[in-house]
Amino acid sequence: MSNAKALQTIAQNLPVFSTTEQKERFLFIIGALTTRIISLRKASELMNLETEVMLQILDSLGIEFSYLAPEDIERENIW
């Protein structure tokens, strides 16, 4: 199975968003958030959600993340 096909299959099973495009973007953002490339604020912005809503979605899906350390903030600024 190709990576694109695998991504589409996973995205289709996300119950939170209605379109496949939103679901794929959310998967990408989860990866960036959990690897500390972007902050929760930036993730929320990219998904066009309030920060509290983003937190609720992550919590409901059981997704844990760490807030950015000061040295990670510089990397986010070039995103």
**pLDDT beyond 70 at 58:** yes
- Predicted local distance difference test score (pLDDT) of residue 45: 95
- Predicted local distance difference test score (pLDDT) of residue 79: 66
Q: What is the pTM of this model?
A: 0.66
Return d(Cα 13, Cα 29) in angstroms, integer: 16
Residue 49: CB atoms within 10 A of its CB come to 15
Q: Which residue has the tokens 């986010």?
A: 76
